[in-house]
Amino acid sequence: MTGPVVVGVDGGLTAPDAAVLGCWLATSLGTSLIVAAVHPAPAALGSGRVDAEWVADRHRAATRVLDETKEALAGVACAIDYRTVASSSAAHGLSDLAEQVAAAYIAVGSGRDAPRERLFAGSTAERLMAGSVCPVAVAPSGLKGPLGSLNRIGVAYVDTPDGRTALTAAAELARHSGAHLRLTTVVAAGDAALPFLLGDDTERAFLDTARETYEQSLARAAADVPGVTAEWELRSGDAVDTLADLDDVDVLFCGSRGYGPARRVVLGGVSARLSRRARRPLIVVPRSG
């Protein structure tokens, strides 16, 4: 069975974007949704009375955030459970909750706009990506919908263990939602790929060989995805700029970087920058193994 989708809301202006993304994921997977507002837990040290009053105020704020979200999600088809969670940070609270319920995804907003009643300061999305046990879905500010209308799930693909893990996760969502897959590999244009090689002939030969290798790996990966229609493309340019500007996919999957603790999301340079710049929802998948 597929676990629930956990959505973190904090009263900020991008919280509705996270709710839209979380609802689409839960509906596509045929699973339930948990909407969580994380508030500060009592500190181990400090002035008891002041601390208790502050914690109580933050708990009331979290309850208000959930009430507002409940109104916004009225009529949504999937089953929704609303929870307040006490923790040392929003990222810790959401990550712990996701682990407890064996969540399929955690969905959060991008945090690009100024908060209205943000319960915690800081970038929850980036902190989650430093150690979540399940894929982290980040909704861009002002998410355009309806999600699923493009019927295409994108994968930022490289033929590495992380790239293959991202493809596997994307294929599972595609099978549930009925969407097609599109695998995209971005290669550096011109001499950006060869800063230490001299000679135009050598450079052109290397780039031609590299492109052929990428095309072969893309074609092989697309052909090996069971039960899903998959296409592929090879683009030239800056990886972050090219992937961030994709606007013809419903969501974009990418892998974590190539080292770090197994079965945890560990941000690499591309995924970290994409989480701040992508035009479409970004899903970063934990490492396997």
Write out pLDDT tens, residues 18-27.
999 999 999 9
Q: Is the pLDDT of residue 190 over 60?
A: no
Per the model's pLDDT, the better-predicted residue between 68 and 286 turns out to be 68
Domain end (from 112, 139, 166) = 139
Task: Domain of residue 116: give its range.
Answer: 5-139
- Tell me: do 168 and 122 sit in the same domain: no
Residue 57 lies in a domain: yes
Instruction: Classify residue 184 as left (phi > 0), alpha (psi -120 to 50) or beta.
Output: beta
Quote the pLDDT of residue 78.
84
- Tell me: do 118 and 169 sit in the same domain: no
- Tell me: do 270 and 191 sit in the same domain: yes
Quote the pLDDT of residue 13.
80
- Tell me: do 196 and 274 sit in the same domain: yes
Segment 256-269 shows an average pLDDT of: 47
Predicted structure pTM score: 0.86
Q: What is the dihedral of CA 270, 172, 23, 113, to 10 degrees?
A: 0
Residue 157 lies in a domain: yes
pLDDT range class, residue 273, cuts 50, 70, 90: confident
User: What's 212's domain CATH number?
Assistant: 3.40.50.620
For residue 90, give the amino acid letter.
Answer: A
- Tell me: do 247 and 182 sit in the same domain: yes
Per the model's pLDDT, the better-predicted residue between 96 and 48 turns out to be 96
For 22, phi and psi rounded to 5 degrees? -65, -40
- Tell me: do 161 and 275 sit in the same domain: yes
The percent of residues above 70 in pLDDT, for the chain, comes to 80
pLDDT tens digit string along 202-246?
Answer: 666 666 777 888 899 999 999 999 999 999 999 988 888 899 999
Rounded to whole angstroms, how far apart are CA atoms 256 and 271? 7
Domain end (from 139, 170, 205) = 139
pLDDT tens digit string along 166-182?
Answer: 999 999 999 999 999 99
Per the model's pLDDT, the better-predicted residue between 111 and 108 turns out to be 108
- Tell me: do 38 and 109 sit in the same domain: yes
Into how many domains does the chain fold? Answer: 2
Residue 146 lies in a domain: no
